[in-house]
Structure 1
Amino acid sequence: MDKLKLRRELIEQRGAIPAAKRRENARAIRETLLDQPWVQMAGLVACYWSIGDEPETHGLVFALWKHGATVMLPVLRQDNDLDWAVYDGPDTLAPGRFGIMEPVDTRRGVDAVRTAALLIVPALAVDRDSGVRLGRGGGSYDRALARVGPNVPTVALLHDGELISGIPVEPHDQPVKWVAQPGGLTNVSTAGPCR
């Protein structure tokens, strides 16, 4: 199956998830992640501000921040790479490119993600065998994933049913180590927890 067709199918499936179920999914994912010691100990977390039918991250970002983590959120650049800025509460966000909420803090540069102790990324699906994620096609998060160290936990957030097999892989695709879904956390690292 080609990526474009798979993306369309997954977006259609997400669109059919009722709003109440999406809220329930977000709560379950947030609680699962916040229960992990490696999430609790992460001093600097790179995350994202969810949009549309993505598993909602607004409560997760707020909870991480309230628990003392420094949370960086992406700022989409003109070249589709991700700059990063620090989240300092819900009043520190403003619409950016494509209307996506971004922190108004000083931009830290594309390499700021290298200092993160945890990277949480969006995905439409993740391949259960390789850990490769299917994104929206811009390559923004593949670039961010390529910048983090080999021992940094990387987590994609998915709805149930989006951890699948057979995602086409291209040379630039970067795997994640973990998938967080409403049903729990799955290690998709092919070489153990520290790939």
Structure 2
Amino acid sequence: MLRREILTVRSRLTADDVQEAANALAGRALELPELAHARTVAAYVSVGSEPGTLALLDALRERGVRVLLPALLPDNDLDWGAYAGEGSLARVRHGGKMALFEPVGDRLGPDAVTEADVVLLPGLAVDTRGLRLGRGGGSYDRVLARLESAGARPALLVLLYDSEVVARVPEEAHDRPVHAVVTPSGVRRFGGGEDGSGGA
């Protein structure tokens, strides 16, 4: 199973590997025109050996961008809250699932994501069609469906390690492609046949 293979590779990464990749990812992502012009970005806080997001979140905040972070609801849907720096996060364990870092403070409701100019999606892999492989919980499938039903058209970006851009991931009827993948070595865009793997 592709998920298991990717999680095994990630589990072998050292803290230094993760930090180095996180810094490179932030640098690549911050060069994207989508993020340069964004007023509101819906993102997430990486955990464990996931491609790191905190450096990017802090850089966006310093630019004056409103950053929204998810809080997992009992039905696996996502509520949202504003990010106000690393001190505004609480470590929350949801049953037998991994502990997540969620925003403290006011909840803005599941529809808050529809205000975002850019949505950063977690993932395990993306293929050459732009289809994303998630962890299988369905939370972000709901986010994408909510965006579609609201007529919202944010840029959809996924942050991954270089080896996680693969030829093909399993496809389901509800899957929607992302617009671009950011890895430590570059950016690849989907949908327009344009390959920006050398940079933004």
**TM-score when normalising by structure 1:** 0.90
2:153, 2:68 → 1: CA distance? 19
59, 62, 83: which one aligns with 2:58:
62
Q: Which residue of 1 aligns with 2:180?
A: 178
Letter aligned with residue 145 of structure 2: A
TM-fit CA distance, 1:167: 0.8
Letter aligned with residue 75 of structure 2: D
Count of residue correspondences: 188
- Mean Cα deviation higher: 152-161 or 11-20: 11-20
Letter aligned with residue 173 of structure 1: D
TM-fit CA distance, 1:173: 2.1
Gaps of at least 5 residues in structure 2 are 196-200
2:105, 2:186 → 1: CA distance? 33
Confirm whether residue 100 of structure 1 aligns to residue 96 of structure 2.
Answer: no
Verify the 8 A CA contact 2:126 2:132 in the aligned structure 1: yes
Identity %: 44
2:193, 2:173 → 1: CA distance? 19
Verify the 8 A CA contact 1:125 1:164 in the aligned structure 2: yes
TM-fit CA distance, 1:165: 1.6
TM-fit CA distance, 1:191: 7.3
Q: Which residue of 1 aligns with 2:121?
A: 121
- Mean Cα deviation higher: 16-25 or 136-145: 16-25
1:191, 1:145 → 2: CA distance? 22
Verify the 8 A CA contact 2:40 2:66 in the aligned structure 1: yes
Q: Which residue of 2 aligns with 1:111?
A: 111
- Mean Cα deviation higher: 17-26 or 69-78: 17-26
TM-fit CA distance, 1:136: 0.7
TM-fit CA distance, 1:95: 1.9
Verify the 8 A CA contact 2:81 2:108 in the aligned structure 1: yes
Q: Which residue of 2 aligns with 1:15?
A: 11
Gaps of at least 5 residues in structure 1 are none
145, 166, 169: which one aligns with 1:167:
169
Q: Structure 2 matches for 1:81-100, cutoff 5 A?
A: 81-98=77-94, 99-100=99-100
1:158, 1:52 → 2: CA distance? 14
Confirm whether residue 141 of structure 1 aligns to residue 140 of structure 2.
Answer: yes
2:44, 2:191 → 1: CA distance? 22
Superposition RMSD on alpha carbons, in Å?
Answer: 1.8
- 1:192–1:115 CA distance, 2 compared to 1 (3 A): farther
1:47, 1:63 → 2: CA distance? 13
1:115, 1:150 → 2: CA distance? 8
Verify the 8 A CA contact 1:131 1:190 in the aligned structure 2: no
- Mean Cα deviation higher: 59-68 or 139-148: 139-148
TM-fit CA distance, 1:189: 2.4
